[in-house]
Amino acid sequence: MDLKPFLISLVRSILFTGFEFFECHTALFCCWPDVVVNCAALSVHRACEMDPAAAMSVNVPSSLVNWLSSLEESNYLLIHLSTDQVYEGVKSFYKEDDEVVPVNVYGKSKVAAEQFITEKCSNFAILRSSIIFGPQTISPVSKSLPIQWVDGVLSKGNTTEFFHDEFRCPVYVKDVIAIILALSKTWISEAKQRNLLLNVGGLDRVSRVQMAETVADIRGYNLSLIKSVSASSTLGISPISFRDGVRLTLEL
């Protein structure tokens, strides 16, 4: 009897950080995995800039990939969470085959991870997510979550600056989970070779100001607390117009 179609209901979830690989190795030693989802990341930009070596060590899953590659008779799918910050961010509507030009250490470490995985793994799915938002995780994270941070500063009545010309496609965490689950089910039932690179975003393209305004509207906060500022003046960049972005996207 082929048990693979039923294994999705028997999944055991084990949570580790990037520094606990050897614990992960011990936990998984008794059974070869069908699917490995790598969520480990040092994603706090300031921490990455202060310690690039740590960012590379955590964000490039070399130990994990090398161990998986060493398993005999193992046919696994590695699902790796990357970021939209592998792109330079000077135009709109990036596609998966656009050139990667990261502008910070976090983005550079994620590009290095993608390159390592594509070179070493036979089957992988790399998900370049935009801002992932949602409730606090089962294993609580110490860093500020995006919506919770906005809610926190506005609830205190603090006037806060938000960029009106930085646009992202925030994606709800359960939508990311749904994508991972769909990929896992397909792999377990079909086991067809997969080399996938996918941009993962939500339905809406919104500015930081619009994100804050949505939180304020739902919570009933005063919109005057939201101060609109330009990312170009703060960061020294000049985003292009929507029309020019469409033209570049369509390669006209």
Say what angle helices 52-59 and 105-120 make with each other, to 10 degrees.
30
* Helix-then-strand count for the chain, H and E: 10, 10
In whole angstroms, give the CA distance from residue 80 to residue 106. 15
10-residue block means of pLDDT along the chain (252 residues)? 42 51 54 86 92 95 89 86 91 88 94 96 95 83 84 94 90 94 92 91 92 93 94 66 68 62
Tokens 């960012």, located at residue: 55
CATH architecture of 1-129+171-203: 3-Layer(aba) Sandwich (3.40)
CATH 3.40.50 corresponds to the domain 136-169+205-252: no
pTM: 0.81
Kindly list the domain boundaries of the chain, sorted by start residue. Answer: 1-129+171-203, 136-169+205-252
Answer for the pair 226, 216: CB distance below 8 angstroms, yes or no: yes
Residues with Cβ within 8 Å of 80's Cβ and at least 6 positions away in sequence, in order, are: 38, 61, 113, 114, 117, 124, 125, 126, 127
